[in-house]
Structure formats: structure tokens, C-alpha cells
Structure 1
Amino acid sequence: MYVDTRPVQTPLGDGVAGIDIGEARIAAVYDGQGVHLHSGRLIRARNHYANKHQAKLDARIARKKNGRPPGQRSSKRLRRLQRARRTLRDRIKRQNRDQLRKQARQVVSTLHESRVQTIAVGDLGDIRNRIDYGLRANQKLHAWMFGQFLTELKAQGRKFGLKVIVIDEAFTSQTCPWTGQRRKPRGRHFVSPCGQHRMDRDGVGAVNIRAKYLEIQAGRGTAYGRTPSLPWTPVLVGMAPTTWGQRFRPQVSHAQSKRGAVYKTARIPGL
């Protein structure tokens, strides 16, 4: 461990960006020009792997505990299984924390180059108390690392001189940015009630979070999403209405060994 001695950078402009934090897409970012989608599937797959193997270890540990007479000291194999479980969880936690930090820095550094000074992020603090979709969905929900990602965004934002503001994101993924009407999306894409526009639902959330922050700053109150006459068009200047955005996958290098040869591949940004 060492102290980060790099000086705090100065914002290059006064732009505003909106970020919608998700699970499959860890972040959907809209800076007023385009939507960028950052994948979170690697973290979800890693958590699925950890839960699967921890369940196997829990079953073996339970068999060892049930077969031990009361008062007898635990066996060496039981202690090994418990140590393996702790090692697994600690390793997954370190890997996820490292990936969140790298993705947060990528998001903030890209926004800094785009002359953004303020980042508006949707508030997800009480989502676990409001949603109940069953055992499988709740397991993913409780493994969702939105709080850690928000913490990393704030930490990286301080390094680049950017402010991270948390606002209420109610109905931001269900409100059409072009008409102001609400429609609950089906699947990963949002189709406007007028039928003329189509966009990724996470991108719609990012656009509306940014619009909501600008509306509050302009002193128009909290009538967002309730009055179709709000000035939606100026918020979307410079972005094609039918854009699907860019999908940035984690930059992870993979090395595979086959018959003594090593092949290195890297995931690259995809459209």
C-alpha cells in the first residue's frame, strides 16, 4: 500500500452527465452527446460462481458438523473446509472491488475528457426494501454492488475534480425522453408510446436522470415525468433519437494454454 500523490485534476468544462447504475450494465452514462453502456456481467458471473461453490462447501460443512458429537473438538477436515469457504469469499470480494474501481475510473476519466463537471446518479439506497421477485432474483439483488460502485465513483470523481450528486430516480426508466409519457419497458429496450423511438432502457434511465437534475437546478420543481410540455428536446440535442449506445466490456486479458502454446486475447469495446 502506498499513498496516491497524484494532484487533483481541474474540470475541463461545466457539463452534466447522468448515470443509471444497473446489474447487467453496471453503468449507463449519458453526457449530453451519447449513451455509453458499461457491462457488469463479469461481476454477476463471478458472484454466481461463488454462490454455487459456497453451497457445495456449506453442504459438506453441515455433514461434518452433524456427525460430530457435542463437546468434541472439530476435525481438521472441517477446519479446512471452513478456511476454504473464507478464502473463496475473500478472493471474490477482492476481484469485484478491483473491477469496480477500474470501471469507475474509466467512467470518470471519460467524462472528464468530455468536459463534464457534475455527475448525477440515481439513488438505489432502499431498493432491497421495495422489491421482492423470489429467491433467485433476490439473490442477484442482494449481490448487486451498486453501493460499492457509487463509493468508487465518488472517490474517482474527487481525483478528477468532478462532483457526484445522488438524486431520486423514480420512473426514470419508464418515462419517454421525447414525449414525457410513461410506459414500463419489456425486456432490455424501451419503445416510446408514440412508436417512433426505440432505445436501451438503461440509456433512457441515464438520459432522464440527467434531465431531472437539470430541471431541479433550473428551479422547475419536481414535476418531472408528469407534464409532457417540459423542454425535453434541448436535453437531447446532439444525440440521434434511435441510438443504441456503445457497449464497453471489461478490459480483461485471458491466457489459454493448449499443447504448450499460449494464446492471449483481450475483450475490446463493441457496438
Structure 2
Amino acid sequence: MMRLVVQVKLLPTPEQAAALEATLRAVNAAACHVSAQAYDQQTFRNYDLRKHTYTQIKDEYGLAAQAAQHVIKKVADAYATLHANLRAGNLGQEGSPRRTRATSKPITFRPDAAQPYDDRCLSWQINVRTVSIWTVAGRVRNMAFTASPDQIAMLSAHRKGESDLLLRDGMWFLIATCDLPDRPVTVPDGFLGVDLGIVNIATTSTGSRHCGKGLNAVRHRRRELRRRLQAKQTKSAKRLLKKRRRAEARFAANTNHVIAKQIMTEAERTGNGIALEDLQGIRDRVRLRKPQRVTLHSWSFHQLGSFLAYKAARAGIAVIHVDPAYTSQQCSSCGHVDRNNRLDQASFSCTSCGFAEHADVNAARNIAARGVAGWAVSHAA
């Protein structure tokens, strides 16, 4: 089963919006209270927290039974995520400032943080584009929402489970979970290697390069504007920074969607699977000059990989992750590995056989070859 989310925009009246805002403030104040109790007592399991806090938050914050249950579960999930990050070392070593900040106080929740709803608290009337939702002011019925035809079709056919109520920049959204049945993976004829990089976000083994100089110019221009606004430290500059932060996130996500769709189309047309680099820990491994570090850390390669993965799963296309070590130094023609093979960022010339190619295309071909080998090993009879 593949799980996707659909985001729809709510269109509440002023009275309905006030009820939603009061609800978020109440549930998040209750969540902060439960979190403080969990931290003080070092009790983080959902069932144990429910015994200590359920009745109290229902009475003090005016929550319905299901809303109180979701508040407690939200807190338990937040601590489960924190502890998983601690075990994985994502917050640094023992005694590091970042780890100390994360563990020295209870988790807190913003007054407008998202709140999960299940079908007892939220019902959908998809055919008339309305929802009925619980609030601290009572049940609010006939609240309108808007969505694209594709989103409506997805909700009608596959919506299941919880939905999150979200307030973002003064706008209200519901993020609904949809469970899609798995599609059988087609045995690939070969693999399309994808090299992820700084100058070109993605390069395929067939020679297609996605978003190079033009995109980097936009990113540089926005980064310089952000730097100047941050230096001003005025209220208006901070407001503009907040506004631009959303716009830049949308720009990056849209670019990643476009690149993923183009790569998917190429893989479907050729009957190939997709071979990607396993970039786990790339930011800790690579050694780059300062301007390149800024570019590397400001782009979500993980997001691009996740977009490719879910689009491929919906289309039944095989995806495999391979070790990226030395793919930029290895000759895709003879296999010779040498640092001197890489003349500069864009040029590759093998010192053994003389093979020459664009450096990113050569790396993508190595990734494709490793994808074929990895698939053969993992699917051996």
C-alpha cells in the first residue's frame, strides 16, 4: 500500500475561522501541558500519558474525547521522533550544544501547530466540497473547501485515516491521507542512471541535463536578496523574509516535481528502471569550497529523490539506490578509476583509454551500470 497526501484549501467564514483558530490554540496549549508532564515524569508512551493527563486536559481545555486522545498521541509521537533522532545521532554527540538544547527542556508546540483529526471529528462531503469539523465552539458544518479535479478524484477514491488541520500564512488547509494500492513493479530492460549535482541538479545516463545555469542564477539572486534582508534586521525586512521563505520552498518543490516528472517520462518511454545515488550523509561526506557548500545545503536533493520514488511506485517502475563512491572518477567505458580522469567540473577524460564525456553524464552511466548489477544481485533466482 502506498500512502500519499492531498492538500485542500478551506474557505471558512470569519466566524468559522475564529472557531478554528481557538481550537488550534486550545489543543496546542493542552499539548504543551502534556509534554511538560511527560518530561517531568519521563513517561513518553501514549497509554501511560493517557492515564496521567486525559481527564485533566479534557476538563481544563474544553476538548472532546477524540481531540484529547489526538493531543496525547501527538505528544507521544513527537517524543518518539526526538528519541529516534537521538539514537541515530542526528542531533550530534553526547554533550554537544544541539543535543543538549533538544534534551534539556520539554518539547513545545506553537499555538498554530497542525492538529490531526480522524473521521469521528471530521467528515467530508466531497460531492458538495464541504466538511464538518469539530471545534471548541462546537461542530462547524458546511465549511467550504476548494481542490483541483485530480485532488477530488483522489479523495473520493482513496482517502483513508487521519487528516491534519493546518494554518499557514493566514490560510487554512486540510492535509488528507490517501492509501493507494501497490502497483506491480515491471521488470526493467535496463536502468536510467541519475547523477545529482550542484551545477546540474540531475543528469541522466542518456545525456539529459536538468536545470543548470538558469536555475543557479535564480538561486544566487534569491540568496543575495535574502542575505541583504537578514542584514537589515527591521520588522519589514523580517516580514518580507517570512513571505519569501514560502515562495522559495514552493519554487524548489515545483522544480523538483518538474525534474522528477521528466526523468519518469524518460524511464517509461525506454522501459528502464531508475538508479539513484544513495546520498545518506552526503552533507557530512563531501568536501567543497564555500560557495559550493552554500549551493549544496540550499537544495533539497532528498525531496527530489522522494518525488522520484513515489512517482515511480505509482507507475510500477523499479527504483534502486547504489553506492555513489568514485562514480565521478571512474571511466564508464573501461572502468579505470583515477582522480586525474576528472579534468574539471564538466569535463571527463580517461587517462587509461582516452574516453571523453561530460563529467555528469559519465557519472550517471556508472550509476546506471551499478543499478543493473544491484538489481541482478537482489533479484537473482
Q: Give the alignment's TM-score, normalised by structure 2.
A: 0.48
Q: Is 1:14 the counterpart of 2:169 in the alignment? A: no
Per mean C-alpha deviation after superposition, the further-off stretch among 185-194 and 11-20 is 11-20
The match for 1:26 is 201
What is the RMSD of the two structures over their aligned residues, measured on CA atoms?
2.5
Indicate the SS of the match to 1:177. Answer: coil
The one-letter amino acid paired with 2:352 is C
Contact 1:43 1:96 in 2 (8 A): no
| Change over 3 Å in CA distance of 1:217–1:156 after alignment to 2 | closer
Instruction: Give the conservation status (yes or no) of the 8 Å contact 2:185–2:313.
Output: no
| 1:150 positional shift | 0.7
Deviation sequence 1:65-85 (CA, Å, 0-9, x none): xxxxxxxxxxxxx33221101
| Displacement after TM superposition at 1:195 (Å) | 4.8
- Alignment coverage as a number of residue pairs: 200
Gaps of 5+ in 2: 1-7, 9-146, 155-179
Q: Is the 8 A contact 2:275 2:321 kept in 1?
A: yes
Q: Distance in 1 between matches of 2:215 and 2:280?
A: 20
Deviating 4+ runs (over 4 angstroms): 4-13
Deviations 1:48-101 (A, max 9, x none): 12221111111211xxxxxxxxxxxxxxxx332211011112111111211110
Q: Deviations over 1:153-176 (max 9, x none)?
A: 112212221122212110011111
- Matched with 2:313 is 158
Aligned residue among 320, 343, 352 for 1:186: 343
Share of identical aligned residues, percent? Answer: 23
Superposed, which structure 2 residues align to 1:212-231 within 5 Å?
Answer: 212-219=370-377
Matches within 5 A, 1:79-94: 79-94=235-250
What TM-score, normalized to structure 1? 0.66
- Which residue does 1:70 correspond to in 2? none
Instruction: Note if 1:208 corresponds to 2:366.
Output: yes
Counterpart CA distance in 2 for 1:127 and 1:39 is: 21
Contact 1:46–1:92 (Cα < 8 Å) also in 2: no
CA offsets 1:179-221 (integer angstroms, 9 cap, x no match): 221122022111012353210111111111121222234449x
Distance 1:153 1:50, change over 3 A: same
Could you tell which deviates more after superposition, 144-153 or 131-140? 131-140
In the alignment, the residues of structure 2 paired with residue 155 and residue 162 of structure 1 have an alpha-carbon distance, to the nearest angstrom, of 10
Q: Are 1:39 and 2:201 matched, yes or no?
A: no
Equivalents in 2 of 1:13, 1:218: separation in Å?
11
Listed one character per residue, the Cα deviations across residues 215-237 of structure 1 (whole Å, up to 9, x for unaligned) are 234449xxxxxxxxxxxxxxxxx
